[in-house]
Structure 1
């Protein structure tokens, strides 16, 4: 199909137009600057009328509490579980010793294009660290793309890319990306060029088109995955997407994938990365369990600046008085309790917010009804505790032929504390995997993950991983290496029709942007926080949750008339080179015409 879509004459026309349009901006710099990290604020006694109740102690709620407490508000943070961190918290294997074996809901990536979250991390004290918990980040040096019956590809990070001198024309950008896809990712030349051109269409699209057109179609449709080779799909479809966001290309909006994909490309090129010391680079992980190296120190800091933390207290309802919240109710082992505050921030997941969203609240702010239409996906962690050290790669491994959408990382190489200090002392490594496709039959047992018992999930996942890394006369993983395993404790009822997952994540389905609410609602003292509200980051991740918490804190500052400075929001990087293209595209979009470089859809109206 690509040969028909991209005849040589059309490609020459594309490049000619791109070169002409780019010539006028050749002098523009491509290097953006990021505002300096926030210095924090000293806590002070809250003035009258400045009490805040925050429900949900994941990254969003903890961020909002952090920012408001540092600005003198009296904050109480309520969490339904008995630990902080939400989906970011570590989990521990039961009955595995006095110091239980540590696991995660999934390995934690701190991408270089994150800026809001690193700013917060630098402001969380950690003994011996100059830059707080941020100094607990370790730079990854590589990523592996693994396949079945094929040579696995290990890519150094950052990997050498044949770029022209910056600034570059759009033609040079397309040529460079195409070259990378062809030489590094081994795509056929024609498909490498096609993929680069689709990216060129996205980066030259104006914001109106991104949110008015690309937001409303799937990545599958935008990237033409259904008419492409398996290799093209493997790298530009779900094989790549599952390593950035837990969703499927057939469901996720082209705008959401395009945005994070563009940010990732700039990060790979060393542009706009949060950096310095050990944490610089395209991708980073913590040097130990997330709760120990990040979440628990954060909780300690919040308490030190006056935040009251109430665990095992779940938000069950709001009581409204017109466009005003009069009170809230929380429930726990001690019964139900009324909560009264000047401002309320819901930082719980959208599916739980929907359960407390009553008709009176929707009547006060009809935009809140969209939360009921948002959808989730399962991204479940599974740890294999190993008796010996096995570094499959110095970074993440993507199992591109795995039907269950697997990724993993070998943890011990990055941790300061040896694994032998946990459990019975014989565990030396943990292969931390993620299962992100629960509806596709397994490669070996031919069952979907949702149809499997816990034992079947463990076995099938292990077999899929071994099929990718064992071969060509090399055996990296064997069954006798496994000491024990741990499935994400949020998964319940496995092997029964009642299987459920308590820690699912929000997915950015095509068209969902208009259903997502803002941090400030039509109810004057109710604010929302999380990666599921409208954020600049757009996709589900810790950075998006942190940004959502910052937006909620700013909404409280605005509503209260506070004289304290607003919380800084680090916007997504914008390549100055593309601005003239976007300006042209804005005119085309308003005239109901396609993007000028959109050869594939050149005859189709955008809306």
Structure 2
């Protein structure tokens, strides 16, 4: 079976830890829930960043006997996943960086959720997940398409041949997504090309190509773009097809197809897509912090990592600064940076680059703005029992109606008159708006809210079933990480990593050439590959395992569940490996036989 080429350091770390763990399973220092093994000398870890990656690493390490201190620049935990509350007359309303999904093909993150106690839940925070039953791809002029989840597949078992796979997938595209038959077949063939590609081709060819070019989006119908373009892809991957590698989107697309076939889902019976049953901070992050504190993790909020001191290839200390600029020195045996991609170059000194020249390539990685905006409504409005993608919205909008999934009524927040939260994300900041003809980056906060609301209404109200009216709108909130809106100084402090073509070679491993410096996040090399909570969780586990190995710990490594691969396609991948070596296209790539120069 072909394996995704995990980063070399991480792979070596995992295998060496597995070997170390063999034979000592009975004496593992991994403690049961609510306890941790006593910290031993030489096992102190300073973690910078309290998002999912940093907290995951802290979780894995403290349960294995390490003394862990987490430093976070904000005054809140959770990073991009945290809830962001806004004052509203009689109280606070729950906003967020942007809504989030827990897809069925996530495995590492659900394991963590099960290990976080939550009052009344037998399976901890994991029991706070609620399955989604539908998704909507909305268009203007009555072009809305709502599909049930999981999709009603036109076959009862997995097609046993590649041609059967293409025929079956094409029938799904034609019947459910209303693609013309030629485009439905073409779309199925493109998916077959990716799924049957060897690892060598995925990283050597598709990693270097945009999804737009791979899927031939520029010469396709609007219906085709609704599914294989940004209309639906944006709900699976936090990126845009024209600046993301075909390998990154193809990987998630393949994962989702296996999920639809129930071949790759977490064993939870909660379907292909899930959300939390309340604000993230209340239903996940706060319980997590409480648990980690109870087993020994120390937290310091309002402390930003500002740099490292090194002695050759060894970190001797780190420096953190509070909001006033006051600095303090941090000393530990191991240092783990779990800060965002765009913040790491600020702490990348010449000494660090000299010790590990590969770290300089991090500067080549790119990030993009995906900014959350919440519309607080006086009426409950379920646009769909799941996510909504606004296919004709020039600002790249997606949304979800929160109240239908939350256990706690919205009327218990704020002044008691809010009954729903329409949580949306703006991912395109350079295109002119439909109504004001200004790009989002040119607009004031009020103009951003007004235009976003208008674009959403234009997609929804023409359908006739559900109407959004201005008198429903109680208030709105934009992610406060967006500053200077309406001025040339507009900026955004919570950008996400995008997997632009060729970026894999610039992404670092969890290990560095500096013996006690490690990295975590969804932007390091992970099997999940794309920017998401599962990738961040995996990145935290990889970093924890690297520290376990560096310390010589006898504890079993954190489990990292590999991606699902379909055994039936393995022979085709072996054939494709030889075709790729010979400079020939994939056997299903019958439309365009051109092959890029390697």
TM-score scaled by structure 1? 0.92
Pairing of 1:260-339 with structure 2 (within 5 A): 260-276=252-268, 280-333=270-323, 335-339=326-330
CA contact (8 A) 1:507 1:540 kept: yes
- RMSD of aligned C-alpha atoms? 1.4
Query: For the residues of structure 2 that align with 1:333 and 1:223, how far apart are their CA atoms?
Result: 47
Q: Secondary structure at the match of 2:513?
A: coil
CA contact (8 A) 2:98 2:423 kept: yes
Residue 96 (structure 1) shift: 4.0
- The residue number in structure 1 matching 2:585 is 594
Q: Given the alignment, which residue of 148, 153, 157 partners 2:145?
A: 153
Residue 606 (structure 1) shift: 5.8
Residue 151 (structure 1) shift: 3.7
Residue 473 (structure 1) shift: 4.4
Q: Given the alignment, which residue of 41, 44, 47 partners 1:51?
A: 44
CA contact (8 A) 2:159 2:165 kept: no
Q: Indicate whether 1:431 and 2:422 are aligned.
A: yes
Residue 164 (structure 1) shift: 5.3
> For each residue in 1:207-236, what CA deviation from the matched residue of structure 2 results, as whole angstroms up to 9, or x when unmatched?
011001100111111111122222222321
> For each residue in 1:357-416, what CA deviation from the matched residue of structure 2 results, as whole angstroms up to 9, or x when unmatched?
011111111111111111111111111111111111111111111111111111111001
- The residue number in structure 1 matching 2:72 is 79
Residue 590 (structure 1) shift: 1.6
- The residue number in structure 2 matching 1:195 is 187
Q: 1:207 to 1:236 in 2, by over 3 A?
A: same
- The residue number in structure 1 matching 2:331 is 340
- The residue number in structure 2 matching 1:415 is 406
Q: 1:167 to 1:260 in 2, by over 3 A?
A: same
- The residue number in structure 1 matching 2:353 is 362
CA contact (8 A) 1:351 1:371 kept: no
Pairing of 1:562-601 with structure 2 (within 5 A): 562-601=553-592
Query: For the residues of structure 1 that align with 2:294 and 2:169, how far apart are their CA atoms?
Result: 48
Q: Secondary structure at the match of 1:309?
A: strand
Q: 1:599 to 1:606 in 2, by over 3 A?
A: farther
Query: For the residues of structure 2 that align with 1:419 and 1:165, how far apart are their CA atoms?
Result: 42
- The residue number in structure 2 matching 1:554 is 545
Query: For the residues of structure 1 that align with 2:371 and 2:463, how far apart are their CA atoms?
Result: 30
Query: For the residues of structure 1 that align with 2:323 and 2:221, how far apart are their CA atoms?
Result: 55
> For each residue in 1:277-331, what CA deviation from the matched residue of structure 2 results, as whole angstroms up to 9, or x when unmatched?
6xx1100000000000000110111101100000001000001111111110000
Query: For the residues of structure 1 that align with 2:185 and 2:31, how far apart are their CA atoms?
Result: 45
Q: Indicate whether 1:441 and 2:411 are aligned.
A: no
CA contact (8 A) 1:146 1:468 kept: yes
Query: For the residues of structure 2 that align with 1:215 and 1:189, how far apart are their CA atoms?
Result: 29
- The residue number in structure 2 matching 1:29 is none
> For each residue in 1:19-75, what CA deviation from the matched residue of structure 2 results, as whole angstroms up to 9, or x when unmatched?
xxxxxxxxxxxxxxxxxxx99574122111100000000000000000000000000
Q: Indicate whether 1:122 and 2:114 are aligned.
A: yes
- The residue number in structure 1 matching 2:13 is none
Query: For the residues of structure 1 that align with 2:389 and 2:138, how far apart are their CA atoms?
Result: 6
Q: Secondary structure at the match of 1:199?
A: helix
Residue 107 (structure 1) shift: 0.9
Residue 159 (structure 1) shift: 1.7
Query: For the residues of structure 1 that align with 2:195 and 2:411, how far apart are their CA atoms?
Result: 48
Q: Indicate whether 1:139 and 2:138 are aligned.
A: no
Q: Secondary structure at the match of 1:483?
A: strand
Residue 447 (structure 1) shift: 0.7
Q: Indicate whether 1:248 and 2:240 are aligned.
A: yes
Query: For the residues of structure 2 that align with 1:151 and 1:65, how far apart are their CA atoms?
Result: 47
Q: Secondary structure at the match of 1:93?
A: strand
Query: For the residues of structure 1 that align with 2:153 and 2:32, how far apart are their CA atoms?
Result: 38
Instruction: Identify the range of structure 1 (231-240 vs 353-362) with the bigger mean alpha-carbon deviation.
Output: 231-240
CA contact (8 A) 1:90 1:291 kept: yes
CA contact (8 A) 1:40 1:123 kept: no
- The residue number in structure 2 matching 1:66 is 59
Query: For the residues of structure 2 that align with 1:301 and 1:351, how far apart are their CA atoms?
Result: 30
Query: For the residues of structure 1 that align with 2:472 and 2:594, how far apart are their CA atoms?
Result: 57
Query: For the residues of structure 2 that align with 1:473 and 1:240, how far apart are their CA atoms?
Result: 22
Q: Secondary structure at the match of 1:551?
A: helix
Q: 1:373 to 1:472 in 2, by over 3 A?
A: closer
Gaps of 5+ in 1: 1-37
Residue 465 (structure 1) shift: 0.5
